[in-house]
Structures are given as structure tokens and as C-alpha cells.
Amino acid sequence: MFPAVPILFERSAAFDDKLGQLMRRGGDDLEAVAPVVREIVADVRRSGEEAVRRYVDAFERRTPARLVMTGNTGPFSDLVPMGSGRVVAARRRRRRRSTLRVHTIHPEVRRPRLSWSSGSLVRRGR
């Protein structure tokens, strides 16, 4: 579970206070955490994947199945691979529907279909 993030509205006293805090923060905050970050990096260099897993567990409270992810790593990557025919066909249908919608609303964007025939460019269709 992620910590709650406060929602602040511009032109409110809470927003102005928080903005002031952030602007005063400066580089001191970075120097305060630098030793801890150096220690974590050194630990990962020494212990490798084992250290990464420990820190993911400590900071994110989860245990990843794999540390390196390749290809599509989106939230639905395990359901349908990106290269699958179903996904490609669905994209093609959505693109076609969008094109038809644009052509219906803006007929001036329709371009004549051109093709090669006997070594020359010819217009086909309407």
C-alpha cells in the first residue's frame, strides 16, 4: 500500500505553505540522504540480486518474481503478448474506425487512393 499523497489546490494556504517548504529545502536534503544511498549502492555491488530483492522488499513491501523484465512490461503484459495477432488486428480495427470517423466529419481530408500499374501511378477507387 502506498502512503497517502495530500492533494493541494493552487491559491490555498496549504498549497503556499507546502510550496514554500519545498523551495527552502534546497540541496541540504540531498546531502542528508547521500550516505545512505552510497551504502545501498555499495551493498548492491557486493551482494547483487540478493541485495536488490532485500531493498525492494524493504522499500516497496513486495517480492518481484523477476528483477529484469523484457519486452512489454505493462500491466496486462502477461495476458496478451504485444506481438500477438489479436492485438495487431484490434489495433488495425481501431485505426480504421478512427480514419472512417475523421473522413465522415472532415471529407476534405480524404485523399485519392493511388497505386502502381504498368510502371505508372494510377488513381483507383473514388
Task: Specify if 75 maps to a domain.
Answer: no
The number of distinct structural domains making up the chain is: 2
Written as one string, the DSSP assignment of 37-59 is HHHHHHHHHHHTHHHHHHHHHHH
- Does the structure show a pLDDT above 70 at 123? no
Quote the Cα angle for 13-15-18, to 5°. Answer: 110
Task: Specify if 71 maps to a domain.
Answer: no
Same-domain check for residues 22 and 49: yes
Same-domain check for residues 87 and 58: no
Q: Using 50, 70 and 90 to split pLDDT, how confident is the model at 100?
A: confident
Same-domain check for residues 38 and 86: no
Task: Specify if 1 maps to a domain.
Answer: no
Q: Three-class SS of residue 124?
A: strand
- Does the structure show a pLDDT above 90 at 43? yes
Task: Specify if 73 maps to a domain.
Answer: no
Same-domain check for residues 88 and 48: no
Q: Where are the alpha helices (DSSP H) in 1-126?
A: 13-25, 28-47, 49-60, 85-105
Cα–chain center distance at 35:
30
Same-domain check for residues 90 and 61: no
pLDDT tens string 81-92:
445 566 667 777
Same-domain check for residues 90 and 57: no
Task: Specify if 4 maps to a domain.
Answer: no
- Give per-residue burial for 35-58: e unless 16+ CB within 10 Å, then b: eeeeebeeeeeeeeeebeeeeeee
Task: Specify if 54 maps to a domain.
Answer: yes
Return d(Cα 110, Cα 113) in angstroms, integer.
Answer: 9
Return d(Cα 117, Cα 52) in angstroms, integer.
Answer: 61
**Domain with 39 in it:** 10-66
